[in-house]
Amino acid sequence: MHLQIVGILLILLGLSHAFFNRFFGWEQELAEVSLLTRRVFFVHNFFIALGVVLGGAVTVFCATALLRPGILSRAVLAGMATFWLCRLLAQFAAYDSAIWRGNRFRTSMHVACSLLWCYVTATYGIACLALGPDRIEQSCARMRSPARGLPASEITPEPARDAAQSSTMGDLWLRSDRSPSRRRPSGYLLPEPGCVRSGSLHDFGPRGGRWHGPL
């Protein structure tokens, strides 16, 4: 719920950048600077607004996914919390008190922005910590696991699995005591003409067969 509220606030904040030029009178104040500096200023303002809107949109429409334990969700939440924490610190470190002190409107905006940055930072930070490091480690183990959806503890190592399969296949071969001359060097009988295929086994020889083996 709080993530979606934060997302809506960020979308509104990003859209409000479209009115900053007229509200702050940037065209008049930047008239004396070079054309390059003026364009860089407006381009940066546009992309800051776009980034804030996109961040808010992801938070609104992907709130459930962000609260699901995983590497990506934790990284996104931690990144957003760090970004807005830096913005909160800049509110006091970059903006001199002489800008807003003595002006009621600017003072109220300073307080409102400070509270907004605190709320946004706390929401992302608490959501990130709520995932828990143990759940993240389990997600990492599942990602490294060769079998999808199974924890590493439930997966049989390749050598052990191959040995088990070999043992099972060996138990399925049935050998006859007759016709020793038709045995392979390994001890198994060679197939004889008249092999009849039935079910999952080959029956060699006339009815009853001399040697059975899996397909």
pLDDT at 5: 94
* Predicted pLDDT at 111: 93
Q: Stretch 96-121: mean pLDDT, rounded?
A: 91
d(CA 135, CA 69): 6
Is pLDDT at 205 greater than 80 in this prediction?
A: no
Torsion of the alpha carbons at 203, 196, 185 and 165, rounded to the nearest 10: -60
- In the predicted model, what is the mean pLDDT of residues 197-214? 46
Q: Judge whether residue 182 has pLDDT over 50.
A: no
Give the β-pairing of 196-198 and 212-214: unpaired
Per-residue tokens: 211: 């040697």
**Residues 56-91: tens digit of each pLDDT:** 999 999 999 999 999 999 999 999 999 999 999 999
- Among 95-99, 111-115, 206-210, the least confident range: 206-210
* Beta-carbon count within 10 A of 73 CB: 20
Residue 60 CA: distances (Å) to CA of 4, 50, 80, 180: 4, 15, 14, 77
pLDDT for residue 98: 87
- Distance, CA of 170 to CA of 154 (rounded, Å): 25
Work out the pLDDT band at 203, boundaries 50, 70, 90: very low
- Least confidently predicted of 87-101, 119-133, 142-156: 142-156
- In this predicted model, what pLDDT tens digit does every residue of 42-56 receive, in sequence order? 999 999 999 999 999
The whole-angstrom distance between residue 126's C-alpha and the CA centroid of its chain comes to 19
Confidence label for 138 from pLDDT (cuts 50, 70 and 90) = low
So what's the pLDDT on residue 141?
58
More reliable by pLDDT, 106 or 172: 106
Q: 118-157 burial string, b = 16+ CB within 10 Å, else e?
A: ebbbbbbbebbeebeeeebeebeeeeeeeeeeeeeeeeee
> Helix and strand tally (H, E) in the chain?
10, 3
- Alpha carbon 28 to chain centroid, angstroms: 46
Strands 212-214 and 201-203 come out as antiparallel
Q: Is residue 199 pLDDT above 50, yes or no?
A: no
Question: Per DSSP, what are the bridge partners of residue 183?
Answer: 189
Percent of the chain scoring above 70 in pLDDT: 61
Residue-level pLDDT at 53: 96
Q: For helices 71-93 and 104-131, give the axis angle rounded to 10 degrees.
A: 160
* Residue 131 binned pLDDT confidence (cut-offs 50, 70, 90): confident
